[in-house]
Amino acid sequence: MRCTQSAYKLGMTHAAPIQYPHRPSSFPGVCLQGLACFALTLACAAAPAWALTPAEMLAGYAQAAGQAPQAVRGQQFFDATHGKEWRCSTCHTKQPAAEGTHASTRKAITPLAPAANPKRFTDSAKTEKWFRRNCNDVLGRECTAAEKADVLAWLISLKP
């Protein structure tokens, strides 16, 4: 069995094995390629996946929307009702740099504005999860890329 195949079978890589010519290790029984794969896997696991800045996330939404985001439009969207009972400000308050409270569970919600909460909008998977849930609560559908860009542009403009 080749070194890469051993590493793959032991779960030390996430990709299919690449077939390299077999080179015996200088240490009997040690697969240096497997150790390298394992070390790389550990290093990648320690780094946060999808770590972004709010500005990078905004740029992605703006590109997907095909238009420039407008903070004023984002604030109007945040404070308006959209056919359902709640609005964004129902839970996140009209001052998103302050802590909010979930309308039905009464759980505390950390500030939404990135200036008040540096962890906000730095993880794309988490951001998408919460946009999906919250937009469904407020709109009854997912938000468009333009709506996300506008709201995020407004939130980035806020100061604590």
pLDDT digits over 17-34, tens only?
555 455 555 555 544 454
- Token reading at 10: 């032991």
Task: Give the pTM.
Answer: 0.67
Does 40 or 9 have the greater pLDDT score? Answer: 9
- Token reading at 33: 């390629």
pLDDT digits over 70-129, tens only?
999 999 998 988 888 888 988 888 999 989 888 888 899 999 999 999 999 999 999 999
Give all domains of the chain, ordered by start, each with its CATH number. 3-46 (no CATH), 54-157 (1.10.760.10)
Cβ atoms of 76 and 155 within 8 Å: the answer is: no
- 16: confidence class by pLDDT, cuts 50, 70, 90: low
